[in-house]
């Protein structure tokens, strides 16, 4: 994006005391930089999704089917019968407003329709009109309104200004989960072909090639070979990287950005070095080469169609269990959906670390373990030789990713690893980490260039907390365990906190790991020179 | 109609409804619910200090006022419109024992009837001697 | 608009109650028919509402985890904010229902010189808790009017509630608390800009209605006394299905009739409003499920069959490239 906005301008008109109006009278405006482009025609055709066509949200005519209202209302009726969550969340909100200033998009934009309660009301108002007696009779008096084209435009704008991070759900006295409401509303809009390209195209790619970027098998192999070459250059050790290997002990699934993205790639090197050093019998897969699941941003069906590959590939390769890399929403899908959708995984065994003998009881049904659980167990049992001083040029903080923290509870494992592989670590303020962590502002499919302004607004609370520890304690790297974070925090920090780097936990593991027969390390995985003994004093 | 998590939800409904309708079950299971307070009025006296309605609703305020007047202000007699009230030629004292209980001597069949019926525990008897028991 | 409308409706109900207290023939309708209608609507309405929720399954276990998961044995799990057992979940629900655990986390965000700062904000938690507990205790204290004999807990609650022994009749802490809390909650809706913009008539109305109940109740207890023996006879008769005489109805004061009409309105309004959060909180899937997802498979009763892209289809498309790159394949051709 060529238009350069400045941080101070972005906050100029932000207020948390919205002017009193009837929000139903405020029309939505598609401002440049605050919305995403529409889903491409061929992605929809490939995935056999409704109403593929060329259109953009700024068009006056969205080329909707004749009876689009009927389709959506019928879809809503069906979903109310399928999801108790939706029915309850529609009925019991008391509009106490506890969620209002918990949303990063509200905090960054001051737009009242970004308060989770009001975001939900966008759907709830239509629900009232169609499914409650009072709403049918009294209409606007009781907060009910008809589903019009303007309402649909509003839905598109604001339900694609939610990253399904679930922070509001932590504070809600009834646990109302806006992620669920956003998810199902996006699903409803998808019924008439209203969706965004940065979700639909990755879903198509992932469906076809196994990963979001559409990387074909030989391309993936090239990339892994390159990582092996880089590792050799840094450590002097040649590592083997098994691909599609039948009969390996476990299948390793990671977000595909790890193969190509920066700084993801350094984390990939970290995994490979670790696996090599402890001599694991594992395999990558080109078919299930993606742990991330963009289907989980728009529809349960698409989520299931993509997620299917992981168990299917584990079965084909006859592995015993599955290990998963650093990724956020991938882990929400694996932890909360995979077993239900595509299980039971009765062809696998309960995961057991071949090195420590630890049986991962907490994964005994799904049979998939998080790499941080796996590595923390290794470190706890002293199975790794580590030299934390090799990370002395870094002073780290840790950004909890939304999904592992609020959809899983993976909080201590990464911290335990970090504290063992490096010596300088400082937490961000309490109400911005762990279950109260702030989203990077670009999750759930919103990380596009055209949506740049909104992403910077949404990421403001996270950047603000990171700036605090950078300025006060000299933190120079923010670690995280999510591929979307690794993609989006760098531009976010460039904008709000220039000079703060972003990295993965296993990148730090790779730096600190003393490998058998390695040459003396002079650089870290990024080829930055290591601090010398005396510099360190 | 298919219900999911059936037994948990039915149990919840039963507990909830049982809680809110508890008064009905308590009343229906006890014959006492038909019993109403029966007040025995004095037969030898005709007139109270004020009309029946006022005494019924506000006697506690009156007694409280009397207590304050006597104990704190040392005003002993009932004054109305600047004149001390008399009864049978004697000045009326602001006194539970000497005035009220003189006529309403049957505490059990007078005071206690409503007080027990409505679970009111006046602290009159923290200091005052209870009439019936005292006579025994 | 919302406030005016709710205020209007509340005043209409007040007037209706007052008229019923003055006009004998209305007393029968408001005093005998209305309460039974209200009780029936309340009970049946709530049951229907809960069953309507129950009719929809919980396809996925979408617990919102608010603490450390159960993983490795040496990592301390947060058993209440991220329970993995039924007992832990029960504990989490108890904290939520009895002490509003989630609301307790509340913070307030503000912008200071382009910096985002958070301050502790427990007022909403404090006054909501005060309101709900006061309401419960007042309801239970009212059993002295509802039943004969009076259950044991009434005396106990009265003693605790009147602990300070101030005033005559003794002022109950919950009477003061409910008035203050309701006032706070009402004023908050008006003066907190964020809350005002989302507030609907259906948010103001229950507050005004309950405020009406509380104010008339307090008036009757402390200032404009009513014939309580008649009130109790009336209440017990209704709650044990005994006939009610006109003579008894005539002993009920207009103020009591207002109080009573408000209560009946609340019972009728309850099941068709947001007040059903009373039942809903127990059924919220982000709170009432254990986070044991990877330990125990959750079943989705309507788990759909979806189109998938099989490995065979994938290999068919990329076989030549895979072979050229030295990646093992299933079929050579």
Q: How far apart are CA B52 and CA B50, in angstroms?
A: 7
* CB within 8 Å: C155 and B121: yes
Q: Is A177 on the interface with C (CB under 8 A)?
A: yes
Cα dihedral C61, C63, C65, C71 in deg (nearest 10): -30
**Pairing verdict, β B83-84 and B79-80:** antiparallel
CATH class assigned to C2-302: mainly alpha
* CB within 8 Å: A115 and C326: no
Which of the residues A136, A174, A214, A343 would you substitute to probe the C interface, choosing the one with the greatest number of C C-beta atoms within 10 Å? A174
Shortest CB distance from C144 goes to which of B24, B34, B118? B118
Please say whether the beta carbons of A295 and A302 come within 8 A: yes
Farthest-apart Cα atoms in chain B, separation: 83
Element (H, E) at A256: none
Q: How confident is the model at residue A2 (pLDDT cuts 50, 70, 90)?
A: very low
Q: How far apart are CA A35 and CA A58, in angstroms?
A: 10
Please say whether the beta carbons of A443 and A331 come within 8 A: no
Residues from chain B that touch C143, judged by Cβ atoms under 8 A, are: 22-23, 26
- Residue C142 CB partners (closer than 8 Å, separation 6+): none
Residue A353 exposure: Cα atoms within 13 Å on the Cβ side? 24
pTM (two decimals):
0.94
> Cα C168 to the chain's mean position, in Å?
33
Domain hosting B125: range is 52-135
Using the predicted structure, report yes or no on whether residue A104 has a pLDDT greater than 50. yes
Residues B64 and B2 in one domain: no
Residues from chain B that touch C148, judged by Cβ atoms under 8 A, are: 27, 30, 32-33, 35, 117
Q: Which two tokens stand for residue B102?
A: 């003189």
Specify the pLDDT at position A8.
84
Q: Is C288 on the interface with B (CB under 8 A)?
A: no
Shortest CB distance from B36 goes to which of C46, C233, C241? C233
Q: Which two tokens stand for residue C90?
A: 């029960």
Q: Is B31 on the interface with C (CB under 8 A)?
A: no
Closest chain A residue by Cα to residue C128: A96
Using the predicted structure, report yes or no on whether residue B33 has a pLDDT greater than 80. no
Specify the pLDDT at position A227.
96
Using the predicted structure, report yes or no on whether residue A198 has a pLDDT greater than 50. yes
Q: Which two tokens stand for residue A157?
A: 């704008």
Q: What secondary structure does DSSP assign to A266-299, as a single string? A: HHHHHHHHHHHHTT--EEB-STT-----GGGGT-
Specify the pLDDT at position A13.
87
Which of the residues C44, C47, C147, C152 would you substitute to probe the B interface, choosing the one with the greatest number of B C-beta atoms within 10 Å? C147
Residue A340 exposure: Cα atoms within 13 Å on the Cβ side? 22
**In this predicted model, what pLDDT tens digit does every residue of C128-169 receive, in sequence order?**
999 999 999 999 999 999 998 899 999 999 999 998 888 888
Radius of gyration of chain A (CA): 23
Residues B120 and B68 in one domain: yes
Instruction: Please indicate, yes or no, if residue B31 is contained in any of the structural domains.
Output: yes
Using the predicted structure, report yes or no on whether residue A128 has a pLDDT greater than 60. yes
Element (H, E) at A377: helix A371-380
Residue C80: count other Cβ atoms within 10 Å of its Cβ.
16
Q: Is A363 on the interface with C (CB under 8 A)?
A: yes
Q: How far apart are CA A355 and CA A280, in angstroms?
A: 8
Q: How far apart are CA A452 and CA A456, in angstroms?
A: 6
Residues from chain B that touch C169, judged by Cβ atoms under 8 A, are: 60, 120
Using the predicted structure, report yes or no on whether residue A396 has a pLDDT greater than 90. yes
Q: Which two tokens stand for residue C84?
A: 């993995």
Specify the pLDDT at position C168.
82
Place of tokens 């949506």: A451
Residues B60 and B26 in one domain: no
Q: How far apart are CA A81 and CA A102, in angstroms?
A: 30
Say what the ipTM of the complex is. 0.94
CB proximity under 8 Å: A 185-214 to C = 207-210
Cα dihedral B64, B66, B72, B78 in deg (nearest 10): 160
Residues from chain C that touch A459, judged by Cβ atoms under 8 A, are: none
Shortest CB distance from B12 goes to which of C42, C155, C282? C282
In three-state secondary structure terms, C261 is: helix
Residues from chain A that touch C326, judged by Cβ atoms under 8 A, are: 221
* CB within 8 Å: A92 and C109: no
Q: Is A226 on the interface with C (CB under 8 A)?
A: no
Residues B123 and B91 in one domain: yes
Specify the pLDDT at position A172.
97
Whole-number average pLDDT of chain A: 95
Using the predicted structure, report yes or no on whether residue C11 has a pLDDT greater than 50. yes
* CB within 8 Å: C309 and A431: no
The residue that leads in pLDDT, C22 or C309, is C309
Q: Is B36 on the interface with C (CB under 8 A)?
A: yes
Closest chain A residue by Cα to residue C270: A92
Closest chain B residue by Cα to residue C52: B3
First to last CA, chain B: 70
Instruction: Please indicate, yes or no, if residue B59 is contained in any of the structural domains.
Output: yes
Using the predicted structure, report yes or no on whether residue A336 has a pLDDT greater than 70. yes
CB proximity under 8 Å: A 472-531 to C = none
Closest chain A residue by Cα to residue C115: A464
Using alpha carbons, select from A419, A310, A440 the residue that is nearest to residue A372.
A419
Q: Which two tokens stand for residue A398?
A: 């840790």
Question: HEC profile for A491-504?
Answer: HHHHHHCCCCEEEE
**In this predicted model, what pLDDT tens digit does every residue of B6-29 receive, in sequence order?**
899 999 999 999 999 999 999 998
**In this predicted model, what pLDDT tens digit does every residue of B44-98 receive, in sequence order?**
777 888 888 899 899 999 999 999 999 999 888 988 888 888 888 888 889 888 8
What average pLDDT does range A58-74 have in this prediction? 96
In three-state secondary structure terms, C118 is: strand
Backbone angles phi, psi at A251, to 5 degrees: -95, 135
What average pLDDT does range C208-234 have in this prediction? 95
Instruction: Please indicate, yes or no, if residue B44 is contained in any of the structural domains.
Output: no
Cβ-in-10-Å burial (0-12, 13-18, 19+) of C28 comes to middle
Q: Is C148 on the interface with B (CB under 8 A)?
A: yes
First to last CA, chain A: 44
Residues from chain B that touch C227, judged by Cβ atoms under 8 A, are: 56-57
Q: Which two tokens stand for residue C307?
A: 């189109």
Q: How far apart are CA C45 and CA C204, in angstroms?
A: 21
Specify the pLDDT at position A460.
96
* Count of domains forming chain B: 2
**Crossing angle of the two packed helices A68-82 and A178-190, in degrees rounded to 10:** 140
Domain ranges of chain A: 13-195, 203-512
Q: How many helices (H) and strands (E) does chain C have?
A: 16, 2
Q: Which two tokens stand for residue A60?
A: 């006056």
Residues B30 and B56 in one domain: no
**In this predicted model, what pLDDT tens digit does every residue of C32-61 receive, in sequence order?**
999 999 999 999 999 999 999 999 999 999
Specify the pLDDT at position A3.
57
Residues B82 and B123 in one domain: yes
Q: How far apart are CA A215 and CA C325, in angstroms?
A: 14
- CA angle (A482 as vertex; A476, A487 as ends), nearest 5: 70
Using the predicted structure, report yes or no on whether residue A124 has a pLDDT greater than 70. yes
Q: What secondary structure does DSSP assign to B81-136, as a single string? A: TTEE-EETTEEPBS-IIIIIHHH---TTTTHHHHHHHTT---GGGGTSPPHHHHH-
Specify the pLDDT at position C296.
96
What average pLDDT does range A158-168 have in this prediction? 96
Using the predicted structure, report yes or no on whether residue A521 has a pLDDT greater than 70. yes
Whole-number average pLDDT of chain C: 94
Closest chain C residue by Cα to residue B36: C233
Residues from chain C that touch B17, judged by Cβ atoms under 8 A, are: 43, 46-47
Please say whether the beta carbons of A44 and A200 come within 8 A: yes
Using the predicted structure, report yes or no on whether residue A1 has a pLDDT greater than 50. no
Residues from chain A that touch C318, judged by Cβ atoms under 8 A, are: 209, 216-217, 286
- CA angle (A398 as vertex; A105, A198 as ends), nearest 5: 45
Please say whether the beta carbons of A323 and A282 come within 8 A: yes
Q: How far apart are CA A206 and CA A214, in angstroms?
A: 6
Backbone angles phi, psi at A523, to 5 degrees: -130, 160
First to last CA, chain C: 73
Place of tokens 């014959």: B31
Residues from chain B that touch C240, judged by Cβ atoms under 8 A, are: 24, 27-28, 33-34
Specify the pLDDT at position A536.
57
* CB within 8 Å: C146 and B20: no
What average pLDDT does range A221-239 have in this prediction? 95
Q: How far apart are CA A497 and CA A524, in angstroms?
A: 23
Q: What percent of chain B has pLDDT over 70?
A: 96
Compute the count of residue pairs across chains A and C with CB atoms less than 8 Å apart.
Answer: 320
* CB within 8 Å: C65 and A175: no
Shortest CB distance from C68 goes to which of A20, A334, A409? A409
Q: Is A377 on the interface with C (CB under 8 A)?
A: yes
Q: How far apart are CA A227 and CA A237, in angstroms?
A: 12
Specify the pLDDT at position B134.
47
Using alpha carbons, select from A127, A117, A132 the residue that is nearest to residue A151.
A127
Q: How confident is the model at residue A4 (pLDDT cuts 50, 70, 90)?
A: confident
Q: How far apart are CA A525 and CA A262, in angstroms?
A: 12
Instruction: Please indicate, yes or no, if residue B94 is contained in any of the structural domains.
Output: yes
- Alpha-carbon gap: A531 to the closest alpha carbon of chain C (Å): 33
**Pairing verdict, β B90-91 and B86-87:** antiparallel
- Alpha-carbon gap: C124 to the closest alpha carbon of chain A (Å): 8
**Crossing angle of the two packed helices A116-131 and A178-190, in degrees rounded to 10:** 60
Residues from chain A that touch C295, judged by Cβ atoms under 8 A, are: 361-365
* CB within 8 Å: C146 and B21: no
Q: How confident is the model at residue B136 (pLDDT cuts 50, 70, 90)?
A: very low
* CB within 8 Å: B117 and C226: no
> Cα C42 to the chain's mean position, in Å?
14
Residues B31 and B56 in one domain: no
Residues from chain C that touch B61, judged by Cβ atoms under 8 A, are: 168
Place of tokens 């202000």: B73
Shortest CB distance from C201 goes to which of A14, A141, A286? A141
Compute the count of residue pairs across chains B and C with CB atoms less than 8 Å apart.
Answer: 96
Specify the pLDDT at position A237.
95
Instruction: Please indicate, yes or no, if residue B97 is contained in any of the structural domains.
Output: yes
Residues B58 and B108 in one domain: yes
**In this predicted model, what pLDDT tens digit does every residue of A420-447 receive, in sequence order?**
999 999 999 999 999 999 999 999 999 9
Specify the pLDDT at position C1.
63
What average pLDDT does range C174-185 have in this prediction? 97
* CB within 8 Å: C277 and A365: no
Partners of A370 in beta bridges: A324
Cβ-in-10-Å burial (0-12, 13-18, 19+) of A33 comes to middle
Instruction: Please indicate, yes or no, if residue B43 is contained in any of the structural domains.
Output: no
Q: How far apart are CA C155 and CA C176, in angstroms?
A: 19
Chain B neighbors (3+ CB pairs < 8 Å):
C
* CB within 8 Å: C103 and A406: no
Residues from chain C that touch B5, judged by Cβ atoms under 8 A, are: 54, 58
Residues B24 and B77 in one domain: no
Shortest CB distance from A362 goes to which of C295, C307, C324? C295
Chain A neighbors (3+ CB pairs < 8 Å):
C
Please say whether the beta carbons of A402 and A328 come within 8 A: yes
- Residue A80 CB partners (closer than 8 Å, separation 6+): A86, A87, A90, A127, A131, C56
Q: How confident is the model at residue C289 (pLDDT cuts 50, 70, 90)?
A: very high
Q: How many residues does chain A have?
A: 537
Residues from chain B that touch C56, judged by Cβ atoms under 8 A, are: 4
Q: How far apart are CA A338 and CA A186, in angstroms?
A: 20
Instruction: Please indicate, yes or no, if residue B40 is contained in any of the structural domains.
Output: no
Shortest CB distance from C277 goes to which of A92, A107, A362? A92
* CB within 8 Å: A287 and C106: no
Q: How far apart are CA A124 and CA A131, in angstroms?
A: 10
In three-state secondary structure terms, C88 is: helix
């Amino acid at each position: 994006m060529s238009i350069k906005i400045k941080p101070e301008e972005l906050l100029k008109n932000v207020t948390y005391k919205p002017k009193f109006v009837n929000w139903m009278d405020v029309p939505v405006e598609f401002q440049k930089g605050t919305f995403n482009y529409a889903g491409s025609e061929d992605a929809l055709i490939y995935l056999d999704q409704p109403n593929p066509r060329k259109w953009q949200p700024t068009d006056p005519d969205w080329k909707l089917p004749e009876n689009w209202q009927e389709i959506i209302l019928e879809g809503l009726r069906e979903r109310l019968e399928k999801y108790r969550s939706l029915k309850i969340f529609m009925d019991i909100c008391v509009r106490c407003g506890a969620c209002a200033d918990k949303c990063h998009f509200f905090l960054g934009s001051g737009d009242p329709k970004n308060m989770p309660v009001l975001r939900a009301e966008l759907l709830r108002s239509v629900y009232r009109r169609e499914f409650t007696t009072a709403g049918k009779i009294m209409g606007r008096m009781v907060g009910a309104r008809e589903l019009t084209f303007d309402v649909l435009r509003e839905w598109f704008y604001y339900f694609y200004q939610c990253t399904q991070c679930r922070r509001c759900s932590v504070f809600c006295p009834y646990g109302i989960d806006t992620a669920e409401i956003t998810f199902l509303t996006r699903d409803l809009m998808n019924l008439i072909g209203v969706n965004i390209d940065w979700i639909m195209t990755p879903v198509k790619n992932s469906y076809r090639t196994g990963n979001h970027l559409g990387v074909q098998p030989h391309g993936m192999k090239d990339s892994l070979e390159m990582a092996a070459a880089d590792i050799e250059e840094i450590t002097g050790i040649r590592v083997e990287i098994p691909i599609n290997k039948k009969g390996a002990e476990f299948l390793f699934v990671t977000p595909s950005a790890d193969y190509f993205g920066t700084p993801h790639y350094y984390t990939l090197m970290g995994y490979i070095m670790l696996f090599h050093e402890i001599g694991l019998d594992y395999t990558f897969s080109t078919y299930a080469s993606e742990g991330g699941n963009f289907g989980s941003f728009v529809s349960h069906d698409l989520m299931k169609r993509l997620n299917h590959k992981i168990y299917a590939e584990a079965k084909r390769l006859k592995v015993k269990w599955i290990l998963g890399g650093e990724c956020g929403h991938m882990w929400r899908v694996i932890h909360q959906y995979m077993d239900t959708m595509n299980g039971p995984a009765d062809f696998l065994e309960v995961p057991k670390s071949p090195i420590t003998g630890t049986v991962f009881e907490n994964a005994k049904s799904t049979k998939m373990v998080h790499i941080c659980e796996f590595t923390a167990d290794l470190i706890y049992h002293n199975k790794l030789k580590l030299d934390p001083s090799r990370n002395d040029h870094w002073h780290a903080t840790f950004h909890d990713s939304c999904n592992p923290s609020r959809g899983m509870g993976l909080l201590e494992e990464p911290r335990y690893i970090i504290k063992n592989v490096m010596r300088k670590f400082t937490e961000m303020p309490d109400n911005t980490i762990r279950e109260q962590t702030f989203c990077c502002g670009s999750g759930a499919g919103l990380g596009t260039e055209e949506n740049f302004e909104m992403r910077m607004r949404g990421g403001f609370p996270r950047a603000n907390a990171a700036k605090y520890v950078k300025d006060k304690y000299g933190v120079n790297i923010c670690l995280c365990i999510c591929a979307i974070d690794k993609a989006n925090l760098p531009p976010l920090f460039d904008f709000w906190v220039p000079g703060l780097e972003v990295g993965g936990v296993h990148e730090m593991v790779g730096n600190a790991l003393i490998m058998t027969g390695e040459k003396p390390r002079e650089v870290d995985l990024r080829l930055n020179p290591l601090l010398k003994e005396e510099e360190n004093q | 109609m298919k219900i999911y998590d059936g037994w948990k939800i039915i149990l919840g409904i039963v507990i909830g409804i049982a809680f809110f309708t508890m008064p009905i079950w308590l009343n229906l299971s006890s014959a006492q619910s038909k019993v109403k307070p029966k007040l025995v009025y004095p037969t030898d006296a005709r007139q109270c200090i004020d009309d029946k309605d006022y005494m019924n609703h506000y006697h506690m305020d009156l007694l409280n006022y009397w207590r304050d007047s006597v104990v704190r202000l040392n005003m002993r007699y009932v004054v109305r419109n600047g004149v001390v009230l008399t009864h049978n030629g004697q000045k009326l004292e602001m006194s539970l024992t000497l005035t009220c209980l003189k006529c309403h001597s049957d505490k059990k069949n007078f005071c206690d009837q409503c007080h027990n019926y409505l679970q009111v525990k006046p602290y009159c008897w923290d200091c005052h001697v209870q009439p019936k028991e005292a006579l025994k | 608009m919302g406030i005016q409308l709710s205020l209007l409706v509340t005043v209409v109900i007040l007037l209706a109650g007052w008229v019923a207290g003055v006009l004998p023939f209305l007393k029968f309708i408001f005093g005998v028919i209305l309460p039974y209608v209200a009780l029936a609507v309340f009970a049946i309405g709530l049951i229907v509402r809960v069953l309507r929720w129950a009719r929809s399954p919980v396809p996925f276990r979408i617990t919102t985890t608010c603490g450390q998961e159960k993983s490795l044995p040496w990592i301390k799990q947060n058993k209440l904010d991220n329970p993995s057992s039924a007992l832990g979940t029960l504990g989490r629900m108890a904290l939520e229902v009895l002490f509003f655990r989630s609301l307790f986390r509340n913070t307030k965000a503000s912008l200071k010189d382009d910096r985002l700062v958070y301050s502790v904000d427990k007022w909403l938690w404090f006054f909501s808790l005060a309101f709900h507990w006061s309401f419960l205790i007042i309801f239970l204290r009212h059993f002295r009017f509802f039943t004969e004999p009076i259950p044991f807990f009434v005396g106990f609650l009265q003693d605790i509630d009147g602990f300070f022994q101030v005033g005559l009749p003794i002022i109950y802490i919950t009477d003061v608390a409910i008035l203050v809390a309701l006032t706070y909650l009402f004023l908050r809706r008006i003066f907190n800009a964020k809350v005002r913009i989302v507030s609907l008539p259906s948010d103001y109305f229950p507050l005004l209605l309950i405020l009406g109940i509380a104010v008339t109740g307090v008036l009757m207890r402390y200032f404009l006394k009513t014939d309580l023996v008649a009130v109790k006879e009336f209440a017990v008769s209704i709650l044990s299905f005994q006939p009610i005489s006109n003579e008894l109805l005539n002993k009920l004061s207009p103020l009591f009739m207002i109080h009573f009409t408000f209560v009946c309105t609340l019972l009728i309004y309850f099941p068709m409003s947001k007040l059903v959060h009373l039942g809903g909180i127990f059924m919220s899937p982000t709170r009432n499920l254990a986070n044991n997802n990877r330990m125990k498979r959750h079943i989705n009763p309507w788990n759909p069959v979806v189109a998938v892209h099989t490995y065979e289809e994938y290999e068919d498309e990329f076989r030549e490239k895979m072979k050229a790159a030295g990646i093992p394949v299933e079929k050579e051709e």
